[in-house]
């Protein structure tokens, strides 16, 4: 097996057989078989369209500072803040109906991105061909910032790079990405790629909506309406998107109705409903469990919860975005605090060299950019880490049992509930006792958290190694900082902890304010 230069020479870098992904007639790659091998331990085979491994720190000729500059240019890590005129906070007076959210637009931009042929044969450049709304009254510096933001959006719509061939068939696909701003806030990019109407071979085009709302299902329905109008005339998109922009954003569990006119069809009323549980409105766990078995999901979760470097590889952009968002959702009530790029554009591939934690999605055609496969003879990824031992054995069994209880043909809502409840219960049992180690500062409105006592108080003792490791992560630290600043604020997680502690107390398992 070929190896790249490693900081730790005893660790093998993942390698894959490039021949396992053969091109089909439409120019799209087929999923391959993958194998996970843990040193001399048993092998686990699975057939899936996504592969995941722990990425080791590698010696790179490109410094992290240079990577940050690259990110700044494309808007991935440091996307320039939008001008005040497009800020949600300055969106103007909105409805005060409790069923709607005040001060929010459904979206900031709708753009259509096409591929423009360059002088080089077979080379294309993503270029915005339509934008709504247009901002003609911006100051010079605001226009420059907007241009940088739009350039980043175009790159994420076609992350595979410039090498394309005109197509006569191209199945429509919908995916999402995240743009992180300088203040740490995030905007969601929803993208649908399809072959534009016409005759003969032609490159695909992409519709992209940028929004502060994280609700994949809602924007998928909006894309259906945009696509239906685009087939008739580009001019028909404007009135629909204008009506949508003027409509109040519904609160979770509520519906907003958009009235739109289509020639030959008449007036239509489009209903857009947000799920009741806003925690999961951007998540669909079905892709994750189609690609990975339950044990493999636990390994991914273990690596993620300890903030390691993880790369996912898939053929389909939709698979990448759904899987990465699903993995991030497993962490609730905690949140991933490091680099998160659900679909890495070719120009940002050097980010895999970063020494800091990340969750990255890489398309299959970019695999050679991150692994040296020149003399690989088998389809094999070698992992010598401890992902299968991080979670305490008893809790592993409970998680597998909970995941195994899902129905074979579960709906999206049913699966989301089973999965989210299983992992939320894991955090309740491992770190839920943090509430007993938060002390008020005299008459102050803030509090202080006693980490050392918290780690020693974890019960049973088998949980303490995990709790100690997890308490050192940034996601736990940020969570505790919020608790210290807002000791009286109790949310969904606190309610789950209280219910669990009450049940344990009833069973006689309550002792000294600890969860056992």
Residues 6+ apart with CB under 8 A from 162: 118, 120, 123, 124, 125, 346
pLDDT value at residue 45: 27
Q: Which helix (H) or strand (E) holds 200?
A: none
pLDDT value at residue 402: 94
The answer to whether 44 and 295 have CB atoms below 8 angstroms apart is yes
Average pLDDT, the chain: 74
The answer to whether 504 and 516 have CB atoms below 8 angstroms apart is yes
| % of the chain surpassing 70 pLDDT | 75
Give tens-digit pLDDT for 73-85: 222 333 323 222 2
**Nearest alpha carbon to residue 434 among 365, 335, 500:** 500
Lowest mean pLDDT among 57-71, 127-141, 227-241: 57-71
The mean pLDDT of 150-168, rounded to a whole number, is 85
Encode burial over 227-236: b for 16+ CB neighbours within 10 A, e otherwise.
ebbbeeeeeb
395: tokens are: 């809790």
Residue 326, classified by CB atoms within 10 Å of its CB into exposed (0-12), middle (13-18) or buried (19+), is: buried
294: tokens are: 């339950």
DSSP type of residue 504: H
Give tens-digit pLDDT for 196-225: 888 888 889 999 999 988 888 889 889 998
Separation CA 107–CA 219 (nearest Å): 10
Is residue 37 predicted with pLDDT exceeding 70? Answer: no
Confidence of residue 166 (pLDDT cuts 50, 70, 90): confident
The mean pLDDT of 325-345, rounded to a whole number, is 93
The pTM assigned to this predicted structure is 0.74
pLDDT value at residue 508: 64
């Amino acid at each position: 097996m070929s190896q790249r230069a490693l900081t730790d020479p005893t660790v093998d870098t993942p390698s894959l057989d490039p021949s396992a992904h053969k091109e089909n007639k439409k120019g799209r790659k087929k999923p391959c078989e993958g194998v996970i091998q843990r040193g001399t331990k048993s092998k686990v085979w699975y057939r899936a369209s996504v592969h995941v491994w722990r990425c080791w720190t590698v010696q790179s000729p490109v410094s992290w500072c240079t990577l940050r500059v690259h990110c700044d240019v494309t808007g991935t890590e440091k996307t320039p803040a939008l001008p005040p005129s497009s800020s949600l906070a300055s969106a103007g007076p909105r409805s005060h109906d409790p069923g709607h959210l005040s001060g929010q637009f459904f979206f900031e931009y709708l753009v259509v991105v096409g591929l423009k042929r360059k002088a080089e044969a077979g080379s294309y450049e993503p270029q915005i061909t339509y934008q709504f709304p247009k901002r003609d009254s911006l100051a010079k510096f605001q226009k420059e910032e907007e241009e940088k933001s739009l350039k980043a959006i175009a790159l994420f719509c076609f992350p595979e790079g410039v090498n394309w061939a005109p197509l006569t068939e191209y199945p429509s696909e919908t995916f999402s990405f995240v743009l992180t701003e300088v203040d740490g806030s995030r905007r969601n990019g929803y993208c649908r790629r399809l072959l534009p109407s016409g005759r003969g071979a032609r490159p695909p085009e992409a519709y992209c909506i940028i929004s502060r709302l994280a609700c994949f299902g809602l924007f998928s329905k909006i894309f259906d309406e945009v696509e239906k109008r685009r087939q008739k005339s580009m001019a028909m998109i404007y009135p629909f998107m204008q009506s949508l922009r003027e409509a109040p954003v519904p609160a979770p569990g509520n519906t907003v109705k958009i009235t739109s006119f289509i020639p030959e069809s008449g007036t239509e009323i489009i209903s857009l409903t947000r799920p009741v549980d806003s925690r999961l409105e951007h998540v669909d766990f079905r892709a994750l469990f189609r690609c990975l078995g339950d044990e493999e999901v636990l390994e991914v979760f273990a690596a993620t919860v300890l903030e390691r470097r993880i790369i996912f590889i898939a053929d389909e952009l939709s698979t990448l975005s759904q899987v990465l968002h699903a993995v991030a959702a497993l962490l609730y009530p905690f949140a991933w605090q490091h680099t998160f790029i659900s679909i890495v554009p070719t120009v940002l591939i050097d980010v895999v060299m970063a020494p800091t934690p990340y969750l990255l999605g890489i398309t299959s055609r970019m695999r050679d950019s991150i692994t040296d496969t020149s003399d690989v003879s088998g389809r094999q990824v070698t992992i010598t880490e401890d992902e299968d031992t991080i979670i305490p054995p008893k809790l592993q069994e409970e998680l597998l049992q909970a995941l195994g209880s899902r129905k074979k043909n579960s709906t999206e809502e049913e699966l989301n509930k089973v999965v989210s409840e299983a992992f939320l219960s894991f955090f309740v049992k491992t770190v839920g006792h943090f509430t007993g180690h938060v002390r008020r500062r005299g008459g102050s409105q803030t509090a202080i958290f006693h980490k050392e006592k918290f780690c020693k108080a974890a019960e049973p003792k088998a949980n303490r190694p995990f709790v100690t490791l997890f308490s050192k992560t940034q996601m736990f630290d940020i969570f505790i900082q919020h608790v210290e600043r807002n000791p009286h604020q109790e949310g969904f997680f606190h309610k789950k902890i209280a219910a669990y502690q009450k049940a344990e107390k009833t069973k006689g398992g309550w002792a000294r304010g600890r969860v056992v």
